[in-house]
Amino acid sequence: MLVRSLQFFMLVTGFAFAQALWAGDAQLGKGLFPVCTACHGPTGQGNQAMSAPKLAGQEKWYLMKQMQLFQTNARGTAPGDMQGMQMAAMSKGPQLASAAALENLAAYIATFVDEPSPITVSGDSAVGKNLYPVCAACHGASAQGNEAMAGPRLAGQNDWYLVNQIKKFQKGQRGYHDSDHGGRQMRPMAATLTSDQAINDVVAYINTLATTQ
């Protein structure tokens, strides 16, 4: 009985230790973030003038995955994707070369207050609601994100950024690399939005979901 109890204790504490390692050190991450502020802002709220998305409120697993894609040239190397190329270069700084550094950076970003994003996209949210079910399978009914389906959180993201990224998927500027499984999954879904108006409509609907988070 004592042996079983000890084994259970070791299992639980080992899992907790692994979680603690995965959580990262936000204080160390704070020291890494200044290089990100020029584009994403000091509190990760995004900057449309720099085509830099909001980071605050995004899930840590997705932030880390995208950084890894940039670092391995699986994102940010497609012709015409100037912003992606810029981000790929920034991701390869020596201070971000380890998985631990990315965990620390993501942990610091997770401390940011998730401020509402300004609405900049005009669309018919009622029409967008009818288009959204194809997105919900991966991103969730409330656009809250789903790691198991590699679907990031969409609710609360800068709407102009969502429009831009859907178009990048359609052009093959994202989801082109074999190791980007989530991106490759997204490309045929983006293709279901057959006009700029349809893109604006579905993003307008996603804007309404930010208030449900």
For residue 47, list its beta bridge partners. 52
Please tell me whether residues 65 and 143 are part of one structural domain. no
Please tell me whether residues 68 and 86 are part of one structural domain. yes
Are 160 and 120 in contact by the 8 Å Cβ rule? The answer is yes
Are 59 and 144 in contact by the 8 Å Cβ rule? The answer is no
Please tell me whether residues 28 and 93 are part of one structural domain. yes
Would you give the DSSP letter of residue 47? Answer: B
Condensed to tens digits (0 to 9), the pLDDT of residues 24-43 reads 999 999 999 999 999 999 99
Please tell me whether residues 108 and 121 are part of one structural domain. no
Question: How many domains is the chain partitioned into structurally?
Answer: 2
CATH label of the domain that carries residue 161? 1.10.760.10
Please tell me whether residues 85 and 137 are part of one structural domain. no
- Report the C-alpha gap between 67 and 87 in whole angstroms: 9
Domain closes at, from 115, 134, 154: 115
Please tell me whether residues 132 and 198 are part of one structural domain. yes
Please tell me whether residues 97 and 189 are part of one structural domain. no
CA nearest 75: which of 165, 191, 193? 165
pLDDT band at 19 (very low <50, low <70, confident <90, very high): very low
Please tell me whether residues 78 and 126 are part of one structural domain. no
pLDDT for residue 16: 43
> Does a structural domain hold residue 16?
no
pLDDT for residue 152: 97
- Report the C-alpha gap between 131 and 205 in whole angstroms: 9
Q: What is the pTM of this model?
A: 0.88
- Report the C-alpha gap between 189 and 166 in whole angstroms: 9
Domain closes at, from 115, 143, 176: 115
pLDDT for residue 10: 41
> Helices marked H in 110-147 — which ranges?
125-131, 133-139
Query: Residue 191: which domain range?
Result: 117-213
Are 126 and 207 in contact by the 8 Å Cβ rule? The answer is no
Please tell me whether residues 124 and 100 are part of one structural domain. no
The identity of residue 20, as a single letter, is A
